[in-house]
Structure 1
């Protein structure tokens, strides 16, 4: 029996089990399937959040905690299909960070809006059946986001705008950070859910807690005119916060990529303090060469097939990394680079 190949650090290379089905990347799902998942997730998030806000007087789970739990559950349930946004702000941040194609963004946002409106429409039917409530529009006006006279604690426009921008930036930053790299799916969903709950608890007395333009729009459509007049803030603030977080993460990713390229270009393979070209061939040649002669030059030749074996050893790790990133990060163009851009070599 042949031993498993060892990696450069001495650890055995991880190979996926032969009987294990490969995880689907997001780009293997069509845009209709991804948008449908976004609509269902947004429906779940808004139905639970707005419903709990109405029934919170019963002393059950608070609305912010319910939204956080709903967000975590929806990410685990549907995130493998669409990326688990369920919020236009998160979709915008993902596009700005280069993880979602801009051409898919309008479809995602429209799907999220439809899911949110359907959730509030069903709640309208439920609430309208309560005989003690004379005016259902007044109920939804109380549930709508607002500032000034429409704010629970009478916070002015500037306070509402600033806190919503900061809250959206923090939420989308946590999402982008939690869903990058090889982090467990449940851990990422937990981080996003807890962040939702904390931020909504803080924002509740200021604006009613939005962070989600789809939620704000759906409730405003069924509320009185004042809610629609103030709706612009609950699009402008989350979009601005999302763009800030997305562009910061995009710059970090580009900086990290440049640093990685520089490390590859200047690799001190033989430990003599000099910089050699960091190509795979040079590194593999140095690793497979014989002992140094009196002048310090490496002697011997590379073992036959060493380069192929090294490449094979690296391939499973790269594939596993793609699978881990692919759970939440959309590769909408199918070019394998998760940047939502044009595949290399194509116009």
Structure 2
């Protein structure tokens, strides 16, 4: 259970601090600050729990690891259950904290949920949202698989992965709020209302496709360094 506990705590941290930066401090720190909050939360957890579970804290990453041949599906399922549970609990805690402010309303202020279309940030289309999430998750997974492989990059993996997440957020927050992580999307959507629940499928399907494609490429040897 130690791996599942680590994944629960890691995903909890990412959602509470990442989404919390948007909900509680977004007007002060802007998109740049939110981007760094997500990336730094991931870096901290990578070094905090990486030696225990590998710090996936993301169902798409776990499935990408399966596709790359670095994890079995039964183990990935255990990881995913822990990750989603951590995200849901984090979103609940964030809602309780945010609700302590007199003028906060989850319907009005949101809970850091992902989305697209009219009324959501840059109002990008569903197609734009889907393409961004597939491509961004693919690139994110390439960094993860490359940085955590055998070799001199392994010791710096947490930093490289966290920086990649920062850059992805800097580009994509206005498009989808940036998911690249189904658990990160499911947690806030659970409490954010019908629109968020109705759109969460995209943030499950698109990241899964992107991460799986990256895993397949590494498994095939096309993105593996020559011996």
| Global fold match (TM > 0.5) | yes
> Once the 2 structures are TM-superposed, how far is the Cα of residue 72 of structure 1 from its aligned partner?
0.9
Unaligned runs of 5+ in 1: 1-31, 261-347
Match of 1:92 in 2: 63
Cα distance in structure 1, aligned partners of 2:175 and 2:28:
23
Is the Cα contact below 8 Å between 1:138 and 1:224 reproduced in 2? no
Considering fraction of residues, name the structure with more helix.
Answer: 2
> What TM-score comes out, normalization by structure 2 length?
0.93
Q: Is the 8 A contact 1:91 1:105 kept in 2?
A: yes
Q: What is the rounded CA distance, in whole Å, between the counterparts of 1:59 and 1:157 in structure 2?
A: 27
Looking at structure 1, the residues matched to 160 and 170 of structure 2 have their Cα atoms a distance apart, in angstroms, of 16
Aligned counterpart, 1:334: none
1:206 and 2:206 are equivalent in the alignment:
no
Q: Does 1:239 align with 2:208?
A: yes
The 1:74/1:173 distance shift into structure 2, 3 A limit, reads same
CA distance in 1, matches of 2:223, 2:118: 44
Match of residue 196 from structure 2: 227
SS of 2:71's partner is coil
- Counterpart residue number, 1:116: 87
Alignment of 1:94-243 (within 5 A): 94-133=65-104, 135-140=105-110, 143-183=112-152, 185-243=154-212
Q: Distance in 2 between matches of 1:255 and 1:201?
A: 28
CA displacement 1:164-218 (0-9 Å, x = unmatched): 1000000011000000013355511111000000001111111111111101111
Greater RCO, 1 or 2 (C-alpha within 8 Å, sep 6+): 2
Q: Which residue of 2 aligns with 1:285?
A: none
Deviation at 1:144, TM superposition (A): 1.5
| Distance across 1 between alignment mates of 2:223 and 2:175 | 36
- CA distance in 2 between counterparts of 1:182 and 1:154 reads 42
Structure 1 residue matching 2:70: 3-state secondary structure: coil
Which structure has the larger Rg over C-alpha atoms? 1
Paired residues of 2:217 and 2:223 also in contact (CA < 8 A)? no
Q: Distance in 2 between matches of 1:89 and 1:162?
A: 16
How far apart, CA to CA, are the structure 2 residues paired with 1:209 and 1:179?
Answer: 23
Offset, 1:224: 1.5
Provide, for residues 125-149 of structure 1, a one-character-per-residue CA deviation record: whole Å limited to 9, x for no partner: 111111122x2343226x2111112
Match of 2:48 in 1: 77
Root mean square deviation, CA, Å: 1.9
For the structure 1 residues 185 and 69, does the alpha-carbon distance in structure 2 shift closer, same or farther, using more than 3 Å as the test? farther
Equivalent residue number for residue 59 of structure 1: 29
Q: 1:158 to 1:122 in 2, by over 3 A?
A: same
Aligned to 2:16: 47
Q: Distance in 2 between matches of 1:181 and 1:132?
A: 51
Q: Secondary structure at the match of 2:164?
A: helix
Structure 1 residues 255 and 198: CA distance shift in structure 2, 3 A: closer
**Length-normalised TM-score, structure 1:** 0.62
Aligned residues: 225
